[in-house]
Amino acid sequence: MDFAFTEEQAMFQQAAAEFCKNEVEAVAIKLENSKEFPMALTQRMSELGFMGMVIPQEYGGVGADYLAYLLVEGEIAKTSIGLSMTLGAQNSLTGLPIMNFATEAQKKKFLPLLASGEKLGCFALTEPGAGSDPAGMRTTAVKKGDRWVINGTKIYITNGSVSRIAIVWARTGTKPDGKPQITALLVDRDESPYKTGTVEDKMGVHASPTSELIFEECEVPADAVLGKEGDGFKVALMTLNTGRLSVATQSLGLAQAAYERARKFASEREQFGSKIGDFQAISFKLADMITSINAAKGLIYHATWLKERHGLSDPRFISMAAQAKLFASEMSEDVTSAAVQIHGGYGYMKEYRVEEFFRAARLMTIIEGTSEIQRLTIARQELKG
């Protein structure tokens, strides 16, 4: 197993680093504080090819491998977690399921729009009564002639308010065993309008809006089904498996950013006549932080390696992706908290940004499957064997 980056992977990572240094770093604090969606920077990511990283060239994308995409996403997360989440929503949560399950006609229609950034996508699964348990969803899609009519409400949708393309999960019937039949549907907002409800006032990650979406008699064509009718759970679960690597990478980026600032602060800040990094209490914190960061990298790269070689449905990949997300998200929360502590009172001040990273890291243990769901997934896979 070789984790050395290819020339192309290293090139994309460097391009992302330069983009952040030259165009994002100076406005990063403003992005977080303004709570406005950074459309100009999002379009800039499109121009650089980042919004279509995983989309094949024949559909207008870059056609890079998944690790190259993760390297770009993680690099951007170091500077702006909001921009990184927009990148993830476009590539991992919208682009990939269309690539994996769409018809050729659907691919030709939607993928170029996503790759160019002309339209932003979102993953509309969660509902008020259906978070970790999607079987509890109440949104319905009823077949009427040559149309599906969608009614229901989705919540906590990343970039929902700015999306023009949504993958929407809805109940389309009942199975013989009494369980709901769930189907994924592709919805183009310009052709089949849906409403934005509440845009949430969150603890952090303010540059990425989290929104309520309301579907009222929303009509889509009969051929809007993504995959097969009734295969919605399969589409969601396979998408979330790769999405967990995306969240793990964002967590890694947050931890790396916090660690770098804490290390710099510890090497400059003096107390009791010495640099605080010379004190064992601080130096041991830094040692634990970098060790955890590197352990998370290993899990992420291993899971990505399994995905590329054995596919999305391989039990080893499913387990390792959950392990990577679990460990990296909880590691990020620990590392960013330690960074605040090392900064002392300065760590609580926004200008040093470590408090921002800490608030963002808290989210990582919740989205795309809570830590508890990851442990359940890992245990189930392990007990099968």
Residue 171: per-residue pLDDT? 97
**Torsion, Cα of 192, 220, 42, 256 (10° steps):** 130
Q: Which of 229, 355, 368, 382 is catalytic?
A: 368
User: Which residue ranges does the chain devote to CATH 1.20.140.10?
Assistant: 233-384
CATH of domain 122-230: 2.40.110.10
Angle at 97 between CA 203 and CA 102, to 5 degrees: 145
| Measured distance CA(165)–CA(188) in Å, rounded | 5
User: Which residue ranges does the chain devote to CATH 2.40.110.10?
Assistant: 122-230
| Measured distance CA(246)–CA(233) in Å, rounded | 20
CATH architecture entry for 233-384: Up-down Bundle (1.20)
In tens digits, the chain (385 residues) has pLDDT values of 667 899 999 999 999 999 999 999 999 999 999 989 999 999 999 999 999 999 999 999 999 999 999 999 999 999 999 999 999 999 999 999 999 999 999 999 999 999 999 999 999 999 998 888 877 899 999 999 999 999 999 999 999 999 999 999 999 999 888 889 999 999 999 999 999 999 999 999 999 999 999 999 999 999 999 999 999 999 999 999 999 999 999 999 999 999 999 999 999 999 999 999 999 999 999 999 999 999 999 999 999 999 999 988 899 999 999 999 999 999 999 999 999 999 999 999 999 999 999 999 999 999 999 999 999 999 999 898 6
Residue tagged 């379009």 (tokens): 43
Half-sphere exposure of 36 (CA within 13 A, CB side): 10
Strand partners, 170: 183
| Catalytic site includes residue 368 | yes
Crossing angle (nearest 10°) for helices 354-364 and 315-343: 150
Joined tokens for residue 192? 């089949």
Question: What's the DSSP call for residue 127?
Answer: B
DSSP output for 290-316: HHHHHHHHHHHHHHHHHHHHH-TT-HH
C-beta neighbour count of 167 within 10 angstroms: 26
Residue 135: per-residue pLDDT? 79
Select 7-119's CATH number: 3.40.920.10, 1.10.150.120, 1.10.540.10, 1.10.357.10: 1.10.540.10
Strand partners, 122: 166
